[in-house]
Structure 1
Amino acid sequence: MRLAVYGVGAIGGLVAARLVAAGHDVTGICRGATLQAIRSDGLHLTVGKDRTRHDLKVTDDPTEAGPQDMILACVKANALPGVIDGLKALSGPDTLLVPLVNGVPFWFFQGFGGPLADTPLQSVDPGGALAAAFPAERVTGAVVHISCSVPQPGHVHNHGGNRLIIGPPTPAVQPQADRVADLLEGAGFGVERTPRIREAVWEKLAGNLNFNPISALTRATVDRIAGDPESKAICVATMREIMTLADSLGLAFELDPDARVALALKLGPFRTSMLQDVDAGRRLELEPIVGAVVEIADRLQVPVPSTRAIYGLARLLDESLAAA
């Protein structure tokens, strides 16, 4: 198989390194300092005390790589619409797209029944361009439960976690999802296969929806947010709102908000991805994680006051980061 990893950052770097180590033909799509670092000295991966170097083909021009059998899209979900031309350049008639992203993915309502069946979300897929280019039969869903960082270009540190949840948007494409799961399992990931990938998306979203933007707004680590009575109450309120939305969408989703916050407290001084973005002066992955939830709530006419308040404040922060 010819594989492209679009975005060789934290998760993309880990995926690319492991696929190369497993003997696959992999091309990384990246740019700037990352491109130069990997071209000159390879891709470096640190897991615990184990440090490895991998020779990865890289380019900043997807047309140079040509059509692939599979694209593992590891850019942030809010960046996907901006790289659609690159994704198309890597695509042939049977190319499979696997978005390894946070938040509500663009394919969420493709082939899905209920009140928002086949509805494109403007917050993650303006105009429905991604859904038009990559219909459900060419997509495999993925939820990432891995913590990585990039201390310098071309160097990835895996701090914890090794779990990927893989599943098809519709039952008809189960064979494609199995191919993806086999590939990633063979590369050393702990793969969980599920026929209900949307519930897995929603379960992760329940924690990201609050801890991520609250950490960005307050500069506080997860343990401080979970341990503070007022911020804890906000987290619990947003989790209850997302449970109500799940019911409206027909998702079989169960959650104990107090237990979820208690679990977060045990993570210790964990720095969320949005907090890392603020520290680096980068824009936030806000629309897929929070904006999409507000959009879904508006379309269903379900009140989500706590989520909406977080979204409004974090959006102002994001605009300030963009203007800096």
Structure 2
Amino acid sequence: MNALSTPPAHADETRRTRRALPPALARFVRHRAALASLALLVLIALACFIGPLLLTNSPTESDWSAISLAPTLQGGHWFGTDELGRDLLARTLVGGRVSLEVGLLGTLVSTLAGVLVGATAGYLGGRTDAVLMRLVDMMYAIPYMLIAILMVTLFGRAFSLVVLTISAFSWLDMARVVRGQTLSLRTREFVDAARAIGVKPAAIIVRHIVPNLAGIVAVYATVTVPAIILTESVLSFLGLGVQEPMTSWGVLIEDGAQKLEAMPWLLLCPAALLCTTLYCVNFVGDGLRDALDPRER
């Protein structure tokens, strides 16, 4: 009877581990879909950044004995080859590296710009808020695709230019979200106390406002990452993204779409990896949203 009523040792260990975790982290760990998605994202990232170094096939060299080969274990061409005999698995992993780099760098730039503009506008208010928000409204009115075409036409399709083009508009939503949160934070007691002892506005924004925005910024950043990756894929699909010999998931999907009937694997393999990554990032964002929800504290 005692043996049946006594909980297993591993159950006690699990409960002790959860109690030892910070509350937000413990809530995230309990979100199974988010945790599984995070693990899968790590595996995809490792495959994209380390996998090409371990593969025997090169993403740029042609295997003339395996041209337009369907997915097979022969010669290690698990995803098949294209019309030039290049291994699609290697090209997909290298393309994933570029797409992930664009997504992470673009999110970093847009987050920094959005937090800076939004926190400054929300805290200072008045004319500063009006000018910065009108700037945001004006940029919303600019046709994004027209600017992308113009920049690519004038300066070429360099990797840094693609990141800059995407980041130039992706911070607008972040700025509005941060401004709204800052408007509610600037009337809090700890901000009034800092203002009363003579702390400068810039220091209040950096030391008191921005740290309290970490939760909402982290959640919104997980929304920005797939949006930027998808934007880069659309630009590459339209021929406005990175150029050879560099490739990305968007470039591979564009190339596969042109040969869909003859070689469907050229489209399906990179598209499946892109969709899996986007879904995983969205699930991680859902987990962060639930874990950092103030109502759960």
Give the TM interval when normalised to the shorter protein. Answer: under 0.3
The structure whose residues are more often helix, as a share, is 2
More strand by share: 1
- Larger-gyration structure (1/2): 2
Q: TM-score, normalised by structure 2?
A: 0.24
TM-score, scaled relative to structure 1: 0.23
